Structure 1
Amino acid sequence: MIQQFFILCSGADAELLQTCSKGEQNKYAGIGATVFFTAVMAFIASSYALYTVFDNVYTSIFFGLIWGLLIFNLDRYIVSTIKKRNTFSQEFLQAVPRIILAIIIAIVISKPLEMKIFEKEINQVLLEQKNEMTLANKEQLALQYTPKIEGLNQEISALKTEIATKEAQTNALYDIYINEAEGTAGTKLLGKGPVYAEKREKHDAALAELNALKETNSEKITGLETQITALDTEYAEVVKESQPIIDGFDGLMARITALNELPWLPSFFIFLLFLAIETSPIIAKLLAPKGEYDIKLEEQESILATWVTQKLEQRKLILATDGEINQKIYEDLKGEEELYGYKKKKAEELLRLQANSFHDTQVKGLK
């Protein structure tokens, strides 16, 4: 039962193969088994690859099954269409396109399995890429907010500088009127005279301006700091909203790109393994000598080709004979007086009808 199934997978003529030896049947059963298990591997590989895209088990299995059946059909077609010829060069020429197709199929099958085998290493590469993308994203978003925040900080610094300058001026006026009272500067008269009172008034006025300036600038600084806090909060929110996009950067293309950043040698050996599996039935057919099945199949094809050639030649002879018979019949009919008279009578009737029709048309045109 299993052997019959694998023979079906090989694309060989099961009825013809039944007339061959057990060894010949086992050979084609082995070829069919290779085709079948290659399709199974294609199903597994494509299902995993599609799972990284759809993130749904049932959808991935459904489309993976379709892909596996497609690969099975292609492999079966490739193997069944390679036939033994009289020379190896003829066999190789007919196998070249099929080998190229087998290489393409091997690449398509091996890549998803490579991603599964090196999943941990790929995840590490993706983690490093995500970290780099996170930092780059923060820097890029910061370019939108940093200039605004720096401008606000400069305004705060200017307001604080203005307060400090006014405070220094007020302190200087304070030192002046104190020194005047102590007699260490100004008029150098000890006591609180008119000059002291004048300088004290200047200081008090400057102190009142300083207090008013502090109150006004403090309100401005508080407003500016509130704006800075709002910008910091908005920046953090934008970074938080964009982070899930970066965290979701693990699709099929991202994993293939990450796989290409790993050392190429292990992936290359896995590809060679699948290439050997995919091309093994073709290579086996090329290297194997012409067997019993090939001889019988060639005999069947030869019989069919001969029968078709005979039919074509018979049709040509029938056509030529029929043409000669028809020519002879019409030549004999030329001498038949009765047929001549009948055709003459019909021709006269046709001419009368044409003349009457022409006459009626002319009369209508004159009215």
Structure 2
Amino acid sequence: MLKRFFLLYSGADLQIINKCSNAEQNKYAGIGATVFFTALMAAIASSYALYTIFDNIFTSIFFGIIWGLLIFNLDRFIVSTIKKREKKSLEFLQVIPRLILAFIIAVVISKPLELKIFEKEINQVLLTEKNQMTLDNKNQIAQQFTPEIAKIQEEIDGLKTEIADKEKETNTLYETYIAEAEGRKGTKRIGKGPVYKEKREKHDASLAALTKLREINSEKIANKEAAIANLIEQQKQAEVTTQPIISNFDGLMARINALNKLPWLPSFFIFLLFLAIETAPIFTKLISAKGEYDYRMENHESEVTVWIKQQVDQREKVAETDIDLNSRVYEDLKTEEELYNYKQKLAQELIKLQGDTFLSNQKRLL
């Protein structure tokens, strides 16, 4: 039962292969098994590749089966169309396009399984890339907000400097009128004289201006610090909004690019493995000697070819004979007087009918 199942997959003619020896049937059953398992691996690889895209197991399995059936049909077609020739060079020439197709199929099949086999290493590469992308993203976002924040901070520093300068001026006036009172500077007279009062008034006026300046600038500073806080919040929000895009950067193309950054030798050997599996049925037929099935197939094709040629030749002969007979019959009819009189009578009736019809149309028009 299993052998018959694989014989069906080999693309061999069951009516012919059943007449062959058991060894010949086993050979083609092996070819069919190779075709079957290649299609099975293609379905598994495609399902995994599609799962990385759709993230839905049922959708991935469904389309993976469709892809496996497509690969099965292609492989079965490739194997079934390879015919044994008397010269090996002719066999190699006929399989060159099939080898190219097998190479393409091997690439398509092996790549998704490579992604699964090296999944941990790929995840590490993707993690490094995501971290770098996160830093780059923060820097790019910061470039949008940093100039405005720096500008506002510079304005705040200017307001604070203005207060500090006024405080320094007020403190200097304070020190001046205290030194005047103590007799250390100015008139160098101890006591609160007219000069002291004058300097004290300057200090008090400066202190009042400082107090007012503090109120005004403090309000401005508070507003500007609120503006900075708002910009920082917008910057954080922008980082939070864009982070999921970076976190989801693990699609099929990203994984393939990450795989290409890993050492190439392991991936190359896996590709060679699938290439060997995919081309195994082709090379099996190439390296195998011409067997019983091939001779029986040639005999069957020869019978069909001869039969078709006979049928075509027979139809051509019948057509030629029929044409020749028709020519002779019509030549003989030319001399028949009865046929001539009959055709003449029909022509006369036709001419009369045409004349009556013409006269009737003319009367109607007048």
CA–CA separation in structure 1 for the residues paired with 2:178 and 2:333: 157
Structure 2, gaps ≥5 residues long = none
Residues 268-277 or 46-55, more deviating:
46-55
CA–CA separation in structure 2 for the residues paired with 1:324 and 1:65: 61
Shift of 1:364: 4.0
**1:151 maps to amino acid:** K
Shift of 1:80: 0.5
Shift of 1:185: 2.6
Structure 1, gaps ≥5 residues long = none
Residue 354 of structure 2 is matched in structure 1 by 354
CA–CA separation in structure 1 for the residues paired with 2:79 and 2:186: 116
What TM-score, normalized to structure 1?
0.97
Query: Matches of residues 25-44 of structure 1 in structure 2 within 5 Å?
Result: 25-44=25-44
Query: Alignment identity in percent?
Result: 63
- What are the superposed Cα offsets for residues 32-91 of structure 1, whole Å, 9 maximum, x if unpaired? 010011111111111111111111222211111111111111111110011112222221
Query: Matches of residues 126-275 of structure 1 in structure 2 within 5 Å?
Result: 126-275=126-275
CA–CA separation in structure 2 for the residues paired with 1:243 and 1:319: 81
What TM-score, normalized to structure 2?
0.97
- What are the superposed Cα offsets for residues 182-208 of structure 1, whole Å, 9 maximum, x if unpaired? 333323333221121111101100011
CA–CA separation in structure 1 for the residues paired with 2:230 and 2:316: 96
CA–CA separation in structure 2 for the residues paired with 1:30 and 1:59: 32
Residue 92 of structure 1 is matched in structure 2 by 92
Shift of 1:250: 0.7
- Number of aligned residues: 366
Shift of 1:96: 1.0
Shift of 1:235: 1.6
Residue 281 of structure 2 is matched in structure 1 by 281
Q: Does 1:336 align with 2:326?
A: no
**1:228 maps to amino acid:** I
CA–CA separation in structure 2 for the residues paired with 1:6 and 1:359: 84
Shift of 1:325: 0.4
Residue 55 of structure 1 is matched in structure 2 by 55
- What are the superposed Cα offsets for residues 287-330 of structure 1, whole Å, 9 maximum, x if unpaired? 21211100000110011011111111111111110011011111
CA–CA separation in structure 2 for the residues paired with 1:301 and 1:216: 106
Shift of 1:141: 0.8
Residue 70 of structure 1 is matched in structure 2 by 70
**2:279 maps to amino acid:** T
CA–CA separation in structure 1 for the residues paired with 2:30 and 2:244: 50
**2:227 maps to amino acid:** Q
CA–CA separation in structure 2 for the residues paired with 1:329 and 1:51: 77
Query: Tell me, what secondary structure is at the counterpart of 1:192?
Result: coil
Query: Tell me, what secondary structure is at the counterpart of 1:225?
Result: helix
Residue 102 of structure 1 is matched in structure 2 by 102
| CA RMSD across the alignment | 1.2
Q: Does 1:296 align with 2:292?
A: no
Query: Tell me, what secondary structure is at the counterpart of 1:140?
Result: helix
Residues 179-188 or 168-177, more deviating:
179-188
CA–CA separation in structure 2 for the residues paired with 1:88 and 1:362: 85
Query: Tell me, what secondary structure is at the counterpart of 1:227?
Result: helix
CA–CA separation in structure 2 for the residues paired with 1:192 and 1:62: 102
CA–CA separation in structure 1 for the residues paired with 2:164 and 2:138: 36
**1:26 maps to amino acid:** N
